[in-house]
Structure 1
Amino acid sequence: MPELPEVETMRRGLLPVVGATIEEAALPPCRLRPISWRPTFAEFRRRVRGRRIVEVGRRGKRVLLQLCDDSLIVIEPRMTGLVLLADPPGEEHLRLRLRLIPEGGGEGPRELLFWDRRGLGTIRLLAAEEIEGVLGSARLGPDALAIDAAMLRERLGGSRRAIKVALLDQRAAAGIGNLYAAEILFTAGVDPRARCDRLTGAQWERIAAATHAILNDAILHEGSTLSDGTYRNALNDPGSYQNHHRVYDRAGERCRRCEAATIERIVQAQRATFFCPGCQTRRGRHRSVP
């Protein structure tokens, strides 16, 4: 967390900075665990000063700021990072402050901030010739919003891994994380423990369709702000998709679809998985989403 819906929400919230020039990059005082920089912050600062932001993009779970010299600022929030245009949740965990001059000197954001409570996030500045090696197809698969059943089956269909674990592989589909993998498989009616190489064509079709439906719906609701309250959009407001979760973090509660089974929690690859044993079976039976 954040996953694709949260990072896409951040990207959309940052669009007002397009056209702005980076006047200065400042490293706020922070006594906590430092985030990862590449290159060093001093080199980053030297190279971004005076550069204009020409595009705000996203690759999987990363926010991309395209600069006028074809270099790229890549911000990966990881567990608790936020990219903001408004005041952060607190100054203590502020990791980067970009001072901006709006296009034409007019109205627009004057700052872009990166805040990270746990310090697990990363910021990279890539020259044009470095971008493919870091963000290209050898490192990241197709975006989860664009992937189809044939692509998923081609990339994962020969794997002996459990489908829930495999969906977290960013080389297969970029952007899906633990929360949305559970929601996708519930919507598709597929047991998270089922092996990829034993799934049917119909199951792959349902997984692909559920991927698009769940991710787009989560974006519509500006992502999920969980009980710790960490995730916020670019204006420091919470998302609301957590109110629509079907299985995630609902262990012990009655399934809202079948109303017969109880949501279970298991651990797969050291990550919590939530599912309904009544709606998600290894035998491929599927109950339609209401």
Structure 2
Amino acid sequence: MPELPEVETMRRGVAGIAGATIIAAERTPCAKRPIQIKPRIDHLNKRVAGVKIASVDRLGKRVVIRMETGDRIIMEPRMTGLVLVTDPPTDEHLRFRLRLKKCKHKELLFWDRRGLGQIALLSEKQYQAKLSDGSLGPDALEISRKDFPGRFNSSRREVKVALLEQSRIAGIGNIYASEILHLAHVHPQARCDRLSKKQWDRIFEFTVEVLETAIRHEGSTLSDGTYRNALNDEGSYQNEHRVYDRAGETCPSCGKGNVLRIVQAQRSTFYCKACQKKR
């Protein structure tokens, strides 16, 4: 579930480890489904032990630990992963640990209830290759208004589905796509190539507004309680959701229509039929 606001909140929460030296990288004992760690943990540890952390960055929905050697540890939360510097929600789902020194935080933890997350150590060359291989588009908070429509407007795909494609733009997920399109008054099933310049301008505008506001609220903790920030506290943007997971409720924008739920690309989409007319 973690999308750009949640991952950016995690990044900010653990940014204080910059300047720390890694003592060791460990795959923690876990009886649950093992997460993918590449290379093998003993090889990964050999490359990072004794190395200083230069910065903590974000790449789309991934937290990136950049070291002074140029190597980077990429932590991808996927559905239920968390990056923490405090006690995890449970011990049984703890998957990975960086033990640290010369830092107020003694460790960086990766916790994952479902075990779908991934950790990879990339060299500078491998990282740059990943940036240029076409699998990841520009960051949703870095792309310009001018360039934004060109990532989508020749596609025949439904706009909600296209917004989730990380190769077009990185960071938007299921929750925020519904919220963005609702505020932009665009039907989620509208085809990208049939939207006007004015509609693309509104989508861009509310992409920035929704994501930045969600970051200020430290992300969305849904009813399952899985997402937590780096200090194991809840986010609060779920209280600001206008349509996501609010099927049957009166639309907060128009006060006329009810929020509907449909399925697109095997994911739930929420919208108001009155506000978001399909032309």
Q: TM-score range by the shorter chain?
A: over 0.9
Match of residue 231 from structure 1:
227
Aligned match of 1:264 in 256, 260, 277?
A: 260
Within the alignment, does 1:182 sit opposite 2:178 as a pair?
Answer: yes
SS at match of 2:70: coil
Shift of 1:6: 0.2
Match of residue 153 from structure 2:
157
SS at match of 1:150: coil
Give the aligned residue type for 1:86: T
Give the aligned residue type for 1:8: E
SS at match of 1:11: helix
Shift of 1:137: 5.8
Shift of 1:193: 0.4
Output one character per residue of 1:50-91: Cα deviation in whole Å (capped at 9) or x when no partner. 111110000100000001111000000000000000100010
Output one character per residue of 1:153-172: Cα deviation in whole Å (capped at 9) or x when no partner. 21210111000000001111
Distance 2:191 2:145 in 1: 16
Match of residue 132 from structure 2:
136
Match of residue 85 from structure 1:
85
Gaps of 5+ in 2: none
Counterparts of residues 23-62 of structure 1 (less than 5 Å): 23-62=23-62
Q: CA RMSD in A?
A: 1.0
Distance 1:122 1:116 in 2: 10
SS at match of 1:43: helix
Shift of 1:36: 0.9
Within the alignment, does 1:242 sit opposite 2:238 as a pair?
Answer: yes
Distance 2:79 2:236 in 1: 18
Output one character per residue of 1:166-202: Cα deviation in whole Å (capped at 9) or x when no partner. 0001111100000000000001110000000000000
Within the alignment, does 1:127 sit opposite 2:123 as a pair?
Answer: yes
Shift of 1:136: 3.2
SS at match of 2:223: coil
Instruction: State the aligned residue count.
Output: 279
Match of residue 117 from structure 1:
113
Shift of 1:213: 0.1
Following TM superposition, the consecutive aligned residue runs of length 4 or more in structure 1 with deviations greater than 3 angstroms are none
Match of residue 287 from structure 1:
none
Identity of aligned residues (%): 57
Conserved 8 A contact 1:143-1:175: yes
Give the aligned residue type for 2:27: L
